[in-house]
Structure 1
Amino acid sequence: MDNLTTTAAIPVTIDESLQNAISFRPFGITIALWSIFVGSVGNLLTILTYLANVKLRTTFNMFLVNLAVIDFWTAVGMLPFNLAGYVQMKWPFESAPFTARLQAFQYFSCGYSSIVFLVAITVNRFVGVVFPGKYGQLFTKNRTVAVLVLCNFFAPLLLLPSLVGTDEGCAHSGGALTGFNSKQFVCTFVCLPDNSGWMEYMMFMRVVFQFVPLIVMLVLYAFILTSAKKTRNAVSTRYGISGKQSFSSGKSIVVGQNQSEFRKKSDQDRRRQREDKRMTLISVVICIAFMVTFLPSMIVNLLPNRREIDVRWHMAASNVTWFNSSVNPIIYVFLNRRFRREYWRIIKYAFGSVKGQFVHESSTAQSSAAPSRASNTQSMSDATRNAVRQLDTN
């Protein structure tokens, strides 16, 4: 996300670097427009779907909807300012430089908070698949709410020094570390002096919010997939004889009431297995999307020669992270039938309401015009009858 190319010399002239950045702007503008539209509409539909359908208010979906809130705010409250910087090639509120620092803080907080929720979703699935018997005990309503609050505030609290911190070696806006980076047209770090500790702080934040989550999710999903495979094999072994089972005490087959209860339990276990498989698939795909969108940024900014890399690589890595706010609703549409149905129902209701309002107003206008036409016709008929009577009199 943040790009550290500001305090060291680069192997091209400033003019050439600026020209490279300008030539790359259309790419970033296109991504911003897409992410703003799809991210705002898609995540809003996700939030409304969760609120409208009681059956979707599960513990797992509580994490999904909180992630949707973060992504929605990214699309409507953060990315438009990034887009403005790309379009104007300057910060639109230059007279208030602190706003650029707020935008940089918001930029980091949105991205890193999304990552925190992805880790929480992974842990939720890990407990649900590997330790299903403890899931209800660990994820009670109160504990889940507490975890969600922690996930929302964890990244902003750790990033707070970047907002309020200053350094004597920084000449920008009273020694501010962040601001509008005129070389990349976004609000990010503009000053990280060597031997000041701030560079180490930023590298620490990258490790905590990008490298560590990547490793944690890879390890946990390896356990999840292994455990899920064992569970499938166990269920297949237990219920593989068409709902019949042999007891170790003899060769008798469960029949009558026992067989009915056995089949009922079999169906419940299979439904639970399918539900776990669906939720795990969604979380795995979300994790893969995170890797695709954030891995380029992590690689570019952790390289030892990151300050010497062409500015377009930094811009491209940053731009790709913007996609993260728009991919999750697409994942829900393809992988979750209930979300897909609710999306479509809300869309039809919204368009139906607009259409109904339009038809109602049109009908009202037509009905109001009809009496006027009838009145005019009546007046013409009265005039005709009067004329006929006048002729008869004559």
Structure 2
Amino acid sequence: MAFSPVAMNLSNQSDPFSCASPSVLGYRYFAVVWGCCVTITGTLGNLLTVLAFCLDARLRTRFNVLIVNLALADLLYCTVLQPISVDSYLYLRWRSGATWCRVFGFLLFVSNSVSIITLCLLAAGRYLLVAKRQLFDRVFSKQGTVLLVMLAWALGVVSFAPLWPVYVFVPSVCTCSFHRTEGRPYSTILLFFYFFVGLGSVGVFYLLIYKRVKVASRALLKYRFSRRSSKKKAFSPSPQTHSGMASTVTTVSEANPTTTVSNTAAVFEANTAAVSEANTAAVSEVNTAAVSKANTRENHSTVSSEENHPQTPVVLPDACVQTIDTQPKASTTPTEASAPAEDGEFKRVTRMCFVVFICFFLCFFPFIILNIVDKENRAPQVLHMLSANLTWLNSCINPVLYAIMNRQFRQTYHLLLRHLRPPFTCSR
């Protein structure tokens, strides 16, 4: 199908739902292919995330409720809105009518706002987990988490509903959004609140988490080093072992000056075995008492330290509170052995949430900056389209990040895909 530049310009001026332009004729095919990939990947990935949460009991945690909420917001965009965007780019025209254009613009901003609110809740929850555990348990209880999810959707709907009359087709990005000037100043306030205050607060929360984790890691290393040092002192060999053996051998030698070399060797072996056995038993008793006393003294000092500083966590697992027993214990307790694993799991989950936030920020940053700088729409249309199409990536990338950075999600994805594969494979 051939397009005439003159005809396109005339059509664009007479048709408010047309985005046809000679500069985007070639680019539209890239946008269509890109949009199809986002639709397929985002729908499948976010659907797998929801199914994994429902089917795997290990994934049904309070934080993963927020992850599923993020997946539902992305699923709304990928499954419902993205195919319509692909259609508008393919024909360089909005073909769904004015009413659906308003619905599209409204749902688009509700989906984005819910994603931003959920990212804020994830960051705030991770921070409260390491800083104020009691407040975290009250706010992010099972009922509290569900209530927060409902409030996120309610806030998104309520905040963007007043813009219903000004949702129009925007030719520069070939999609429906609110009008640049007719929605002001309310639209400007909303964008500033969500994209600058909301995303900025997420960054602040993760910075505070990083500082907390760094301080707690140093405290944990210092604690382990002091514990290891006390154990080494308690298990150091007694110097009387060699001196007692030497004196015994010397006495035997002086009492039998004419003893042959073979007899001397035999006596030396007998005395060595006897002294070694006696000293082993003595050292074992002494060291057992020393270890028991050292552990008791260490536990008493740890308990007193916790009473003086109840707010200072030693380790940062999901439980966030290290319970230290006051009874004498062995060199490795279950709590001490599981602490590094829990601490590592906390860091991995926090790192995953932070990467999700960074990807969201990077996807929207060019689009926001371009709209702030180019208020008069003087930049090339293809540049506006490219920045808008980059935001599509955000709706499909999260399941990929979960699969890469979370072992439980990865395993559950694999099981789901393995069970879904037989209907699509040919029987031999």
**Amino acid aligned to 1:53:** D
Q: 2:184 is paired with a residue of what secondary structure?
A: helix
- Cα distance, 1:348–1:244 mapped onto 2, change above 3 Å: farther
Alignment TM-score, normalising by the size of structure 1: 0.76
Tell me which residue corresponds to 1:70.
73
How far does residue 64 in structure 1 lie from its aligned partner after superposition?
0.4
Mapped partners of 1:179, 1:129: distance in 2: 45
Tell me which residue corresponds to 1:186.
175
How far does residue 183 in structure 1 lie from its aligned partner after superposition?
4.3
Alignment TM-score, normalising by the size of structure 2: 0.70
Q: 2:421 is paired with a residue of what secondary structure?
A: helix
Q: 1:158 is paired with a residue of what secondary structure?
A: helix
- Cα distance, 1:21–1:344 mapped onto 2, change above 3 Å: same
Tell me which residue corresponds to 2:253.
none
How far does residue 129 in structure 1 lie from its aligned partner after superposition?
2.5
How far does residue 110 in structure 1 lie from its aligned partner after superposition?
1.4
Mapped partners of 1:86, 1:24: distance in 2: 9
How far does residue 215 in structure 1 lie from its aligned partner after superposition?
1.4
How far does residue 230 in structure 1 lie from its aligned partner after superposition?
1.0
2:383 to 301, 307, 313: 313
Would the aligned equivalents of 1:243 and 1:259 in 2 still touch at CA under 8 Å? no
Q: 1:180 is paired with a residue of what secondary structure?
A: strand
Tell me which residue corresponds to 1:41.
44
Mapped partners of 1:180, 1:100: distance in 2: 7
Tell me which residue corresponds to 2:132.
131
Q: Any idea what the Cα deviations from partners look like across 1:106-161, whole Å, max 9, x if unmatched? A: 12221222111111111111112233454223311111111111112212211001
Tell me which residue corresponds to 1:295.
365
**Amino acid aligned to 1:226:** K
Mapped partners of 1:325, 1:278: distance in 2: 22
2:204 to 219, 223, 228: 219
Do residues 253 (structure 1) and 294 (structure 2) align? yes
- Cα distance, 1:122–1:16 mapped onto 2, change above 3 Å: closer
- Which runs of 5 or more residues in structure 2 are unaligned? 1-11, 232-289, 297-325
Bigger drift between 290-299 and 265-274 goes to 265-274
- Which runs of 5 or more residues in structure 1 are unaligned? 1-12, 166-176, 363-394
Bigger drift between 106-115 and 47-56 goes to 106-115
Q: Which structure 2 residues correspond to residues 1-394 of structure 1 after superposition, within 5 A?
A: 18-94=21-97, 97-163=98-164, 165=165, 177-190=166-179, 192-193=181-182, 198-240=183-225, 252-254=293-295, 258-260=328-330, 263-303=333-373, 305-355=375-425, 359=427
How far does residue 191 in structure 1 lie from its aligned partner after superposition?
6.0
Would the aligned equivalents of 2:110 and 2:153 in 1 still touch at CA under 8 Å? no
**Amino acid aligned to 1:269:** A
**Amino acid aligned to 1:144:** T
Tell me which residue corresponds to 2:275.
none
How far does residue 189 in structure 1 lie from its aligned partner after superposition?
2.8
Q: Any idea what the Cα deviations from partners look like across 1:159-192, whole Å, max 9, x if unmatched? A: 00111x3xxxxxxxxxxx2233344321123463
Mapped partners of 2:185, 2:78: distance in 1: 30
How far does residue 334 in structure 1 lie from its aligned partner after superposition?
0.7
Q: 2:177 is paired with a residue of what secondary structure?
A: strand
- Cα distance, 1:241–1:306 mapped onto 2, change above 3 Å: farther
How far does residue 217 in structure 1 lie from its aligned partner after superposition?
1.5
- Compare relative contact order (CA 8 Å, sep 6+) and give the higher one, 1 or 2: 1
Tell me which residue corresponds to 1:392.
none
Query: Which segments of structure 1 move beyond 4 Å, counting only runs of 4 or more?
Result: 13-17, 241-246
Mapped partners of 1:245, 1:342: distance in 2: 44
Mapped partners of 1:245, 1:337: distance in 2: 37
Would the aligned equivalents of 2:173 and 2:388 in 1 still touch at CA under 8 Å? no
How far does residue 213 in structure 1 lie from its aligned partner after superposition?
1.8
Q: 1:259 is paired with a residue of what secondary structure?
A: coil
How far does residue 48 in structure 1 lie from its aligned partner after superposition?
0.7
Mapped partners of 1:218, 1:259: distance in 2: 42
- Cα distance, 1:108–1:138 mapped onto 2, change above 3 Å: closer
How far does residue 237 in structure 1 lie from its aligned partner after superposition?
1.9
Q: 1:240 is paired with a residue of what secondary structure?
A: helix
- Cα distance, 1:352–1:253 mapped onto 2, change above 3 Å: farther
**Amino acid aligned to 2:162:** P
How far does residue 35 in structure 1 lie from its aligned partner after superposition?
1.0
How far does residue 342 in structure 1 lie from its aligned partner after superposition?
0.5
Q: 1:64 is paired with a residue of what secondary structure?
A: helix
How far does residue 23 in structure 1 lie from its aligned partner after superposition?
3.7
Mapped partners of 2:409, 2:180: distance in 1: 44
**Amino acid aligned to 1:236:** L
Mapped partners of 1:125, 1:67: distance in 2: 16
Would the aligned equivalents of 1:244 and 1:254 in 2 still touch at CA under 8 Å? no
Tell me which residue corresponds to 2:245.
none
- Cα distance, 1:69–1:127 mapped onto 2, change above 3 Å: same
